[in-house]
Amino acid sequence: MQNVILQEKFYGKSSLGILESHLQTLCEGLQTTVKVCGLTDHRWIRVSISGEDETAALNLLDEKFGFVPIQLKNVKMGAVQKGKIVGFGKSRSEVHADIGVFVPSPINSSISLQYLQARLTDGKKLPLQQIARLFCLVNNFPLGILIKRLDNKRNCFEAEFSEKQISFFSKWTSTNLERIVSLGVFFESVQKAVKVSGHLRDVAEIESLGLLEHMIVCKLGTYAAGLIPKLGRLLPEATLEVFSPKEIQKFTGTFR
């Protein structure tokens, strides 16, 4: 038996039973049993894997989700880690992301306002809350994090976005397609909501950013804000945020 902690958080109103069924379906065809053993204090998912094909299942889950570092010693400076935004709205000078380090004590990553202004707003001195609104930097939004150094005094990692994360923001902005970020529900629920709402014709695709984080890509000429009321009624447990290239360009200029 293997016990691991996935690099995914579980939040919202879905049950752990549904989560376990989802993970078991992912490993369908393998002679293995996947069980959800609970959540850590910061809601990372604990999983046990057993059976003849447990190594193959372990590799599959690692490829799909990854595993949290757990201990400080497992994080290398200069390495890229997956993280989830935490503490949204609690600071005016930095964005915090949890990468899954909690031994010997919890350590989050900190991305400074100055860095965000340099990379996301073309140097314009927009306040943190405005940048966060424009780029959907809210709780549980998944990010690729480049770890720069450990600040022992503040007990946090100084960090930046990975280049891959920057390329995502650049792509999302340059296409001029509005998007809806959905946080807190499975992909199948988002897919069903788009279909049942009658807006399938307005949606180009649905991209998964994480287990419970997805991006609904609107077709050209469709405004994301106009879809949210109908989708919101079908996804009451989800947080829905608008990512609008036109709004970003309006306040920042052309994103690079």
| Helix (H/G/I), strand (E/B), else coil: 190 | helix
Please report, for residues 19, 37, 49, 114, 133, the alpha-carbon distance to residue 45 in angstroms, rounded to integers and kept in the order given. 10, 8, 13, 33, 28
Q: What DSSP element (H or E) covers 248? A: helix 245-252
For the structural domain made of 70-168, what CATH number should be given?
2.40.50.140
Nearest 10 degrees: CA dihedral of 71, 105, 142, 138? Answer: -170
Amino acid at 20: E
CATH 3.30.70.100 in the chain, residues?
175-252
Q: How far apart are the first and last CA of the chain?
A: 47
pLDDT at 12: 85
* Gap between the Cα atoms of 176 and 170, Å rounded: 10
CATH 2.40.50.140 in the chain, residues?
70-168
Is the pLDDT reported for residue 10 higher than 70? yes
CATH 3.30.70.120 at 175-252, yes or no: no
Amino acid at 34: V
Q: Residue 69: how many CA atoms within 13 Å on its side-chain side?
A: 24
Q: What would the pLDDT profile of 47-60 be if each residue is shown by its tens digit? A: 999 999 999 999 99
Tell me the percentage of the chain whose pLDDT exceeds 90. 95
Omega before 104 within 30 of 0, i.e. cis: yes
Name the pTM for this structure: 0.94
Q: Residue 234 has which token pair?
A: 């079908």
